[in-house]
Structure 1
Amino acid sequence: MSTPTPANPALLTRRTALKHGLAGILATGFAPLLLPSRLFGASAPSNRINVGIVGNGLIATSHVGALLGRDDCQITALCDVWRTKAEKMQKRIQQGYAENAGTAGFKGVDLHATHEELVARPDLDVVFVTTPDHWHAAVSIAAMQAGKDVYCEKPMTLTVREGRTMVNIARRTGRVLQTGTQQRSESAFRRAATIVRNGWIGDITLIRTRLGNFPAATELAEEPIPADFNYDRWLGPTPWRPYNAQRVLGNYGGGWRVFLEYGSRKNGDWGAHHFDIIQWALGMDASGPVEFIPAGFEGSPYQTHRYANGVTVQRVDGNQPAMIEFIGTKGTVGVGRDDYLVCNPIALATRPVRADEAHLYESNDHHTDFFNCVRTRQRPIADVEIGHRSATVGHLCGIARQLRRPLRWDPATEEIIGDPLASRLLDRPRRAPYSLL
């Protein structure tokens, strides 16, 4: 829902500034100096950023835990196709705020049956999209078109074409979109990317990463649909399938994630994180690899993708301690969560970055970075273009795996070269009436 442009500077409110963004304010002829500093006082109740959350499963539980501890935002609306889940989350949030004296003025959390209802609310500033992957694009697009900024979980999309559409809409509307690849906001990953980007381990010859594996998807027997669950809407744009609790289960080790109709298996699960860090370290945030080779092709034991400069990335799902290992002509860097960083030479871990070397975007908290950018209208550390490019790597790995043959990719035109059948998999048909736009 759009907000009318104020007729004079005196009517420029905090919510108007968030809706229009700095670019929109400048377009009205008003200079940024007209904005008083109190406009963005995060701790003032009237200046808290109002948050709506679409999808109330496992990952939403994690986000809510973090957001309840912040005084610069307030959760005011929820949406879920499963009413019981939404009510459970509503109760948790309202209890959390009741115990927090810093949330004066809290008026409760409203529940919505559809994301269209939620994003139409004029009092919301941002929307967290924490649904299964097959709903990420449609909900994010609807939110941006309604004038909301978006925090979208990873992988940002289910198809390559969805990603480019999201980027185009974000740029056209001036919306901020943060992708939930929070490893960019962790110091060990930033340090590893800094080491690689500055050439401290020489030319990169090989990168290895482990993603793990899901169990194989299986046929599921039909079960009764719970009375409080809108199963047709949960399926959304995907083909109709009989209901089974395992199909819709939110489970980091399986559930809906094992089905390509709803997720991208491990290429979209852990790949969205690790391929993202590799893209960052190689300076490929606006580009990507040029070749994708599935495991087993001509005897290769590893899923592989390769960049135009020859850098090769292998998916090595073993027991190596590093989640990602960069191998260069002058050394190596292994990195993982919980501040895991092993460098050879060891001194690289603490070597100062000179003024003339690459200093990467520094964020120490993914939510804080997002909310700061909502206020400043800057692009966040995991901007929509970055999220799209990183997700694309996983999508193309998956297409090569499905077809059991290599793909050649042009990252500039975002087209598969010389393979019309593979090109058809860059997007998917969408079941009516669940259109993308």
Structure 2
Amino acid sequence: MGSFSLLLILVLLNIVYIIGFLGAQALRKSRQHYFLGFNPGFLTISFREVKLTLGVYIPIIGLARIYCVDNSGRKHLFYPWQFSSTSVSKRLLLTYSGVLAMFVFGIILSTIAVYISKDQYIPKDEVIKYGIYPSHQAQTVGFLPGDKVIALNGKDYSDFAELVRPETILSEQTTYTVLRQGKELVLALPDVSKQSLQQHELFLTINSPFSVGNVLPESPAEKAGILSGDLILKVNGQSIKSFQEMNSHFESDDDGEVLLEIQRGNNSEQKLERIVTLSPPKKIGISINQMIEYKVRSYSFSESFKLGFPRFWSSIVVQFKIFGRMFGLLIGEERRTLSGPIDISAAFGSLNFSWFLSFTSIYIAFVISLNFLPLPKSALLEVMPLAYEAVKGKPLSYKSFRMIRRISIVLLSALIMWQLFSDIIKLL
């Protein structure tokens, strides 16, 4: 996901948040006039008793300014908890209006993403045909290359993605039933979820044959004369079946050179040998085409909603698990496995734009609700004055609120900087 796409997503979500906030103001029939952006104002829109004047609006965090307007001019936006004439329950709903808008937006997007996309997937038959290749973490659980996963949590499955989804890996009660040399075994994941987020590899992959896809210019593969479409059959005289198995041989190599046996094209008689010098990370500079038979399925709109909403909800569950760890709910050795957004995105792979936009809207809405990433206001922080008023029977002073907000910003900034620094260290 490129930086431009990420910026566009943040812009769209900022707009959705503000639409939700202003929509809630209109529904509560508030006589308010808002100014969005910077001078000059170009257009004034009225809905019920709410007026909105649009200026030079930059929908980016820190620049998305919104003000109240009265006879004396523009003023800083009042927080919902300051509307003392409104009941606490209505002010609570108003506080979360932007967050709710983003949640609804995420549900709609996830439904649309399922509906418009052709869902290409690896069927269970292919998993059984080739077996799996386990990551280092999966090997610690007991997986071996070639294991055939026949059930997930004691139930049948149809899509390989079900075996490696974040909510599956993060669950502490996930079990895999595998077929190994004619015997069925049940492998449980009691602790692997605490480690998987720090890995830059999928928990399980298909142990399938492959052909060479693209060959990078000036790469070791190009210098050795490897071409797109070649089949790599052996490494240092040992037969390999999958790309992961080839990489395993590369990692165990000592002298930095490997002898590859290659089949060129579909001619099984044309076999070549090439000596390849590995690059510093022990790679040869190729992409691959897995020789797997994918299937394609499409869904009706009602089916898309039924599938999109559970994926939406599972994303929220994943975030609860991740943020639970970020706040130190896991202690001791488990703290070493803590990962942030850089590491998480590397572990879970890339998403298309629709899914990434949907996931990000859910992610940021969740973050805002827990006083993270104000966009433009933080929901949980604004709930604190309402709770104080409900208990004490009198409003919290704005001076006290500002002090609480400053403390939270300092603590949040320190946490984010520490986590990003940790991710960067892991990448290096």
Shorter-chain TM band: under 0.3
Greater strand proportion: 2
- How does the TM-score come out when normalised to structure 1? 0.21
Greater helix proportion: 2
